[in-house]
Structures are given as C-alpha cells and as structure tokens.
Chains A and B, each alone.
Chain A
C-alpha cells in the first residue's frame, strides 16, 4: 500500500481541461512576482537619478540623491524573495562558487553583486562630504558612525569634492548600462524558457526593462511628493514636471510594446492560441483588467498634465494618483507574467487557478513584508543622510 498522504506543506491548484499531474503544484509563488518588481524599481530609480548625475539635467537635481538612496535601499532587498523561495537557501552561494554558466540564473548573482558594488560606491562618493560634515557636527556614537563611513577620508576641499564628483559621475555612467542590463536580464530569465508559451518571447526582456523604468520613476514621484509633505516643503515644480514627462513617454512606449506583443501572438495564432485566449478570459482576467485599466487611466492623467502643463495642486494630485496607478499596473504586469505563465499548462490543454497561500515562507504576508522592508530601510537612510538638507546646494551645483 502506498502512503497516500497529502503532504501538508504544498497547495495543489485546481484546474480545468488537462494539465500534467506535476503541474498542479505551481513552482514559483508570488515571491517570484516580488523579485522582478523590486529589481525593476531599482533600475528605474537609478536611471532617474542618472538623468542628473550623468546628463546633468538640472530639473532632476532635487531627487537625484534621494533616488540613489531609494535604489540602494531596494537593491539590498532584491535577493530576499529569492532566498525565501529557495528550497535550500543555505546552498545559495553555490550559484556563485560553482556557477553553471548555461543557466540564465548563474550570472545573476554576479551581475547583481557588481551592480550593488557600483551603487554603493556611487552613493559613497555622493554622500562622502556629508558624512565628513555630519561627523564634525555630531558626537558620541553618531560621530563614530559617520567617521567610519567616511573611511578616514575627511578632506572636503574644493579639489577633493571635485574628485568625488568625477568618480560619482563615472560610476553613474557604468551604473546606467548595468541597471538596464540587470533588469533586461531578469526578463531573459523568463523570456528564454521555451517550455512556457506565455513567457517565451523575444519582447519579454524589453517589456521588463521598460516597465522597470516606469515603475522606478513612479516610485520616485510618489516618495518625493510624500517626503516633501512630511518635511513641510513644497516639492520642486519643474522637477515634478520633468518626472511626470519621463513617466508619460516611458509609459507610452511600454504600452505600445505590450500591445505589439499581444498583437503578434494573436496574429500568428500558433498552436494553443485558444488556450491562451482562455487564460486571459479566465484565471488572469482580473489582474489583466487591473493592469490595463491602471495604465490606461494613468496615461490619461499624465497626458492631461503634460498637454496642459499643469502646476501647483493639480500637478501634485495628478502625479500622486498616476504614480500609484503605475505602481499597481507594473505589479499586476509582473503577476500576469510570472503567475500567468504557470497557469497556462504546458500541455496547452488546460488552465490552473493559482490561489496564493496567506501564511508561510511563500505566503502573501511574507511577500508584503519583503515589499515594505525597503521602505523602512529607505526611511533609515534618509534619517542618516538627509539627501536634501545637507550642503547639496553648493557642493553638487554642477555634477555633470
């Protein structure tokens, strides 16, 4: 007699049609939705910061240093959903020590580590002078902390700060392609799998990258407005306008490319297209509607803001709503890719209905915690290195 036990720590998803028996346990949970989402926020925030640090676009100056802290706070949490998801997180380092290079995942740890180093170095150069000043100004444990962070380099002469600037700019220039590569590569992790019809597309990495920029810029807009309100300062209007315009045209490009993706898929109408259509009408219907409605409404608001060149209250309110909608839209898009791909059976004869577990390592609560954690870290970063108050005006007047 077989031990016909229902192992309690897996959830089998209900299905319609025919799915391979092993497919009834969905392998990648919402943790793997959170992972590309966070990575995308990093890439987007970094690219927004580089508009000032690399191209010297002065409209972006008020958020440039804050964007750097945002990118760093989120980047630190990129590996967390992956580690939560691994069956053997204690073996995670094997991927770095004995990488299997044909795997799209093997180089990820290297690419991510490289990017973290670039990001930390750039942040250090951007904030070193502040650390020195803060060390002078404070006492006790805080003094020690800032002194240690300045790494013994306490020269804040004009010459030394110019040196900082050149290094920060050089690192930002290296960081831009790295950020783009890192996230395009996350798209490749999915797009390169021929086994799943919903993922296997040349456009997947491009869509991932573009929506990353969109989500990062939206996060920056939202956080900038919220933090300005908390600091009782008015957010810089030309900065908000520039961010809004960036969001507007990146969102347009995303929607066009996504539209092309669907058009191509249905126009080609390859084997199993009816199952794909059933997926979109069935298990994915709600999240697809959320994705499209949110991006549609956000685009309308942004178009209105850009065309009428709104300022003041309408600009702030419009941007808050639009950026929140974009953040929701991109999360829904990640869900639709990661979960949607797995809800479509590899047999192309059936659909699974994934129900996320609430508790446990793979649960909704854990995922929400991982999403919220970078915000807490960012709050700490901002407390330690106020990106607005300190000598920003004179020191970073001409970064480029």
Chain B
C-alpha cells in the first residue's frame, strides 16, 4: 500500500468514527427524550407531567428559624447529616444598631455548629449571636434550589445528565452524571452540592418522588408556620396560585437572568 492510500484510509476511518458517534449520540438523546414525551406519563404511569406547572413560595415574614425543614429534607432525601451538604438551608439576617451591614449566618456557621446537638432529633440550632447587642431587626430566609426557567446548571452539563422536566422541576439523572461538578460551579445560588457518597452532583428536587404522587415536599410538610408554600400554578385553587396572586414577589439574583420559580415575600436588598 502506498502512503497516499494509507492516508486516505486513516481519514476515512476517522470520518466514519466521528459520524458513528454522532449518530449514536443523537439516537440515544432522541430515544430517552421522546419516549417520555410521547407517553406523557413520567416518572410513573399515572402521572402526566404536561398537566402541571410546579412552583414554590417562601414567606420569610413567617419563618421562625426552627430548621425543621432542613432536618425533614435530610431525612427524606438521604442527605448526609454533616453541616456541608444541604438541599435546603436557612439564613439569618440580624441588623445590629450602629452597624451598616447585617450579620448573616446559616446553621453551618462555626458558632451555630458549636451550638448544635448532633444527638438530638433536631440537631441544628441558631446560636444566640447577638447577645448584649441592640438588634434593629432580624429575619430568617429559607433557601433551596430555585428551579430556574433558564437554569445555568443545565446549560453547562457536558452530558445532559441534569435537565428541566415538563412540569418545571430541575432534576439530575444520577446514573448518568459523570461527577465533573461544573453545575455546582454554575449555580449562582449555591444550591448544588457534590455527593461524595455517590460521586455525583446532588440538589433539591422539590421531592419529585412525592409531588408526582400528590404529596407536598417534605420541607413544606414539616414547616410549622406555613413559611413554605408549594403547588401547581396551573391549578387556580392551589396554595401557590393564591400566594402568587396575593403577594408582591421577589426572586433571588434576578440580574443573573435565570428566571427562578421560587418566589419570595419579605426579604430585603441584602438577601442574595
């Protein structure tokens, strides 16, 4: 064989290989994407994901910082108990007289970890950080994945393991995730974490396994004061529809252009 022929062969093999990979790739995507859409029943046979538009409301004026939601979420979703992995968490903003910036912490602040009770049913605590200080105002802000309409985490996933469902929930296929953590970087809200146990990305799913069976997310169920509101925007009688219609809403970091579907009431300019 002369050199010209060898080269021609090499080029042909390379081109053929690339085409095959492309074809297989598009085929796999097509198959996985279209089956669910065609049957309209996902993830279970009796649930139609085109018939719902889930959304979440947070009324920060009601939150008492009891952290029941955090515990409920960890129990429901097998999130490790340490103070570095959360699908939802609670922030505290304390305005002390004479200081121009609020003091901000969460249950993961060293002082709050020191005040926690690892053996208790409710291990997390907010330490009294403002003793002896004149507090002007203080409030709590529950945080969770914003299930953005334009999610930057979905945008950056190199394999499409994370996606937005037809009913508006951002999920991760943990059997497909390669564990590169690009999505953890891309989320402006710090809502994603890396599970060292499964070596994949992890985040809030609004308890997708519950809401598709007509239940509420565990955190909503656990909240004793109704600070967390969840429901279907397509259902005019739902809690979330009433919440959206009756309140002036805010979202976190609107300048990011992510279009969150977690709506806040009662936060202020220092909440990011």
CA of A342 to CA of B186, assembled, Å: 11
Q: Does A266 touch B at the CB level, under 8 Å?
A: no
CB distance from A174 to the nearest CB of B (A): 13
B75 at the interface (CB under 8 A from A): yes
Contact across chains for B272 and A347 when beta carbons are under 8 A apart: yes
B159 and A94 within 8 A (CB): yes
Chain B 70-82 per-residue mask, 1 if CB under 8 angstroms from chain A, else 0: 0100110000111
A21-B108 contact given A106-B158, A347-B190, CB 8 Å threshold: yes
Residues of chain A within 8 A (CB-CB) of B152 are 193-195
* One of B3, B86, B200 near A21 (C-beta < 8 A): B86
Residue contact B188 to A194, C-beta cutoff 8 Å: yes
Scan residues 150-164 of chain B and give those whose CB is less than 8 A from a CB of chain A.
Answer: 152, 154-161
CA A85 – CA B74 in complex, angstroms? 26
Contact flags B43-72 to A (C-beta < 8 A → 1, else 0): 000000000000000000000000000010
Contacts of A4 in B (CB 8 A): 81-82, 118-119, 123
Say whether B40 faces chain A, with CB atoms less than 8 Å apart: no
Chain A 1-15 interface mask (CB, 8 Å, partner B; 1/0): 111111101101000
Q: Which residues of B contact A23 (CB under 8 A)?
A: 190
Instruction: Report 25 cross-chain contacts, Cβ distance below 8 Å, ordered by A residue.
Output: A2-B74, A2-B81, A4-B82, A4-B118, A5-B80, A7-B80, A7-B196, A20-B190, A21-B89, A22-B190, A25-B194, A27-B194, A28-B181, A87-B199, A98-B25, A98-B29, A98-B160, A103-B155, A103-B156, A105-B182, A151-B6, A153-B6, A193-B185, A194-B256, A195-B256
User: What residues on A are CB-neighbors of B160 within 8 Å?
Assistant: 98, 100
- Complex interface: stretch among B132-140, B171-179, B218-226, B230-238: B171-179
Q: A19-B190, A91-B176 are in contact. List 6 more A-B contacts (CB 8 A).
A: A7-B196, A24-B108, A88-B178, A95-B158, A98-B160, A108-B158
A79, CB-defined interface residue at 8 Å: no
Is there contact, CB below 8 Å, between B186 and A193?
A: yes
User: Within the assembled complex, what's the spacing in Å between the Cα atoms of A2 and B1?
Assistant: 70
State the 4 A-B residue pairs at the shortest beta-carbon distance, nearest first: A87-B179, A20-B190, A87-B199, A100-B160
> Using Cβ atoms and an 8 Å threshold, which residues of chain B touch A345?
190
Inter-subunit contact A22/B159 (CB<8 Å) = no
A388 to B27, CA, bound (A): 49
Given contacts A18-B105, A99-B158, A103-B182, contact A5 B199 (CB under 8 A): no
Q: How far is the CA of A277 from the CA of B104 in the complex (A)?
A: 20
Distance, CA A236 to CA B176, complexed state (A)? 53
Q: Please tell me if the beta carbons of A100 and B1 are within 8 angstroms of each other in the complex.
A: no
Q: Which residue of A lies closest to B83 (CB)?
A: A21
- Chain A residue nearest in CB terms to B270: A349
What are the residues of chain A within 8 A of B192 when measuring CB–CB?
A: 22
> A-contacting residues of B (Cβ < 8 Å)?
1-3, 6, 14, 21, 24-25, 28-29, 71, 74-75, 80-86, 89, 91, 104-109, 118-121, 123, 143, 152, 154-161, 176-182, 184-194, 196-200, 256-257, 272
Instruction: State A67–B41 Cα separation when bound (angstroms).
Output: 58
- CB pair A18 B106 closer than 8 Å: yes
Residue A264 CB within 8 A of the other chain? no
> Smallest Cβ distance from A224 to chain B, in angstroms?
31
A82 vs B99: C-alpha distance in the bound complex, in angstroms?
45
Residues of chain A lying within 8 A (CB to CB) of residue B81: 2-5
Q: How many A-B residue contacts, CB cutoff 8 Å? A: 177
The contact size tier of chain A is 35 or more
Q: Which of A174-212 contact B (CB under 8 A)?
A: 193-196
Tell me if A96 counts as interface (CB < 8 A to partner B).
yes
Complexed CA–CA distance, A3 and B85 (Å):
12
A329 to B86, CA, bound (A): 37
Inter-chain contact A86/B190, CB cutoff 8 Å: no
Which chain B residues lie closer than 8 Å to A88 at the CB level? Answer: 177-179, 199-200
Contact with B along A129-171 (1 / 0, CB 8 A): 0000000000000000000000111010000100100000000
Residue of B nearest to A101 (CB): B160
B158 and chain A: residue at smallest CB distance: A105
Residues of B within 8 A of A22 (CB): 84-86, 184, 190-193
Q: Are B180 and A105 in contact (CB under 8 A)?
A: yes
> Does A117 reach chain B (CB closer than 8 Å)?
yes
Residues of B within 8 A of A230 (CB): none
Q: Which residues of A contact B200 (CB under 8 A)?
A: 87-88
A1 B196 Cβ-Cβ under 8 A: no
Could you tell me if A87 and B178 are in contact, using CB atoms closer than 8 angstroms? Answer: yes
Closest to A167 in B: B7
User: Is B3 a contact partner of A160 (Cβ separation < 8 A)?
Assistant: yes
* Complex contact A102–B84 (CB within 8 A): no
Give the chain A neighbours of B107 by CB distance below 8 A: 21
Q: Is A358 among interface residues, defined by CB-CB distance under 8 A?
A: no
Report B-chain residues with C-beta under 8 Å of the C-beta of A1: 119-121, 123
Cα-based distance from A151 to B155 in the complex (angstroms): 43
CB distance from A182 to the nearest CB of B (A): 16
Task: List B contacts of A153 (CB < 8 A).
Answer: 2-3, 6
| Most A-side CB within 10 Å, residue of B109, B158, B178, B198 | B158
Are the CB atoms of B25 and A97 closer together than 8 Å? yes
B80 touches A3 (CB 8 A): yes
